[in-house]
Amino acid sequence: MTFKNKAIWITGASSGIGEALAYALHERGARLILSSRREEALKEVKSNCAGSPEDIHILPLDLTETDALDDKARQARDRYGRIDYLFNNGGISQRSLAVDTKLEVVRKVMEVNFFGSVALTKAVLPAMIERQGGHIVVTSSVMGKFGTRLRSSYAASKHALHGYFDCLRQEVHEHNITVTLVCPGYIKTDITRNALEGDGSKHDKMGRGQQEGMLPGEFAEKLLPRIAKQKNEIYIGGREIAGVYLKRWAPGLLNKLLLKTEVT
């Protein structure tokens, strides 16, 4: 399967994984809709893409403003006449002990990571069902498969994505719609730096795992061939990916290992 001439909507496209996906998909001839809250950063991403500017459309949005997402989806469809792929990539992380994390921070993480992705997906699904085709891609995390310290709200939001989109996959199968959950390990982005502390302030620190993580461009190049194969779940990262399998086959051992592991 090729991405050439496909209409692809990417959220969280102003930096990190979303930005890298924009470059990789543009190189493959896709027609892009790039979304995030930061319009100026989206313009910079667009300017970094060589070729036809008419094949890249900027559509700023805030995933917490769920009432506006139906109209955003209409604007996205109107641009190219359809949406072939939706990459739900927008998200936020958290770094604090559960006991020290205010409930409004928990809600903020869930609003962005879970409800934002659900609302945007629901906004594009009717047209995909009518066309009898489409592909929903959801950026989760290895934290969607197991949890560790300082990430309770983040892990909860990612676990919720798996529950929802596993069910959705079965519901839309008859309509020729694919649902893929992507579980990155450590990728060298600013997600940790931009994470929320327990009081809602910015963490503003780069964790060691992120510093030593895979570059976003390399991640995108590894991801897209697997997306093209319509995989249900995709795991990309370093040795932290082993935690996914330990959680299933040896959860007690994983718990012991995580208790001995330094987390930041």
Asked if 210 contacts 187 with a C-beta cutoff of 8 angstroms, the reply is yes
CA atoms lying within 13 Å on the CB side of residue 11: 28
Asked if 219 contacts 187 with a C-beta cutoff of 8 angstroms, the reply is yes
Is 186 assigned a catalytic role?
Answer: no
Sheet architecture: strand order including 31-35: 56-58, 31-35, 7-11, 85-88, 134-139, 177-184, 233-236
Of 80, 85, 154, 186, catalytic: 154
Identity (one letter) of the amino acid at 158? Answer: K
Which positions are annotated as active-site residues? 154
